[in-house]
Amino acid sequence: MDLEFLQSMDIQILVGVAVAALAIVVGAVYLFASMKSKGCLDPENFKEFKLVKRQQLSHNVAKFTFELPTPTSVLGLPIGQHISCRGKDSQGEEVIKPYTPTTLDSDVGYFELVIKMYPQGRMSHHFRELRVGDYLAVKGPRGRFRYQPGEVRAFGMIAGGSGITPMFQVARAILENPKDTTNVHLIYANVTYEDILLKEELDSLAAKYPGRFKVYYVLNQPPEVWDGGVGFVSKEMIQTHCPAPAPDIRVLRCGPPPMNKAMTGHLDALGYSPDMQFQF
C-alpha cells in the first residue's frame, strides 16, 4: 500500500514537473514572439502608414501624424536612429530620404514627423502634396547611433535647421527616463526666428528639467529684441554652452554640410577627441 502511494506521488511529481516545464517553454516562446513582433518597422522592406493629421507650423514647416496598425502599436525605433521615407518628386521620380520622428516608443499608436519643406527639395515636394488619408512608405530603423542610459555624464548637442529632430528625440528619451541622470546642453542655430523648429517643445523641456537640459538659440538674422546668440556658432559659444572635453562626455552634431564641417574644426581645436564626437 505504501509502495503504491509512493509510486502515485512520483507520478504526480513528474506530471507537475512536466507541466511546469511546458509552461516555461510556452512562456519563453510567447516572450520571444512578442519581442520579435514589437515595433512596426521592417529594416528590409517599405511599409505604408496612413497620414491621419497634418498641422501647418509655419509657411514651410508642418507636423505629420501617421497612424500605426493598432492603438497600442509602437514604431520600434531605437533612440537616435532614423527611418527612410520613400516618395516622388515633382517629375514623378522616386526619391528616398532619411528623417527622424519626434515621437518615441512611449507614444503608442502613432508617430510624428516635423518636416521643413524646401522649394527645390525633391522629398519636400512629396510632403507638400501629402494629404490626410494618404500613405507614406517607410523602412527602418537606420543609423549608426547607439545609446544606453548613463553611458555618458553629459551630451553637448549642436544642431542647425532640421538637424534638431534627432537631437530632440535623444533629449526627450534621456529626460523622460527617470533612471537616466545624463545632462543635455543644446546649441541650436537657424537663420531667422521663424526658422526655429520645435521651439515650444524645447522650451517646455528646459522648463520641466531646468537642472538637466539647457538650450541656447543662435540666429543669423535675429529680431530687434533677442537674448540668444548672433551669427554662426563659434568656438566661444561651444566653450560656454557645451560640457568641456572629458572621457565621460560626447558632443553630437547635425546640420547642413558646411555647418558640420565648421563644427568639426571648432571641436577639434577645443580638444574634443574623435571619440567624443558623433555626427548624425
Binding residue numbers: 98-99, 114, 116, 123-124, 165
**Binding-site residue set for FAD:** 98-99, 114, 116, 123-124, 165
Q: How many distinct helices (H) and strands (E) make up the chain?
A: 6, 12
3-state helix, strand, coil in the chain (%, to 5): 35, 30, 40
The label of the residue with cell 507614444 reads 107
Active site residue 99: yes
Q: Which residues pair with 251 in a beta bridge?
A: 156, 277
CA dist 84 and 80 (Å) reads: 14
| Nine cell digits for residue 238 | 561651444
Q: Which of 40, 65, 85, 99 is catalytic?
A: 99
| Nine cell digits for residue 40 | 512596426
Q: Which of 82, 125, 126, 266 is catalytic?
A: 82
Q: Which of 100, 102, 103, 182 is catalytic?
A: 100
Active site residue 82: yes
CA dist 37 and 39 (Å) reads: 6
Distances (CA, A) of 170 to 29, 65, 103, 128, 272: 32, 19, 10, 27, 21
Active site residue 264: no
Q: Which of 40, 85, 242, 254 is catalytic?
A: 254
Question: Is the Cβ–Cβ distance between 156 and 249 less than 8 Å?
Answer: yes
Residue 260 CA, distance from chain mean position? 19
Residue 276 DSSP label: G
Active site residue 209: no
Task: Label each residue of 37-82 as H, E or C.
Answer: HCCCCCCCCCEEEEEEEEEECCCCEEEEEEECCCCCCCCCCCCCCE
CA dist 4 and 10 (Å) reads: 10
**Residues noted as catalytic:** 82, 99-100, 254
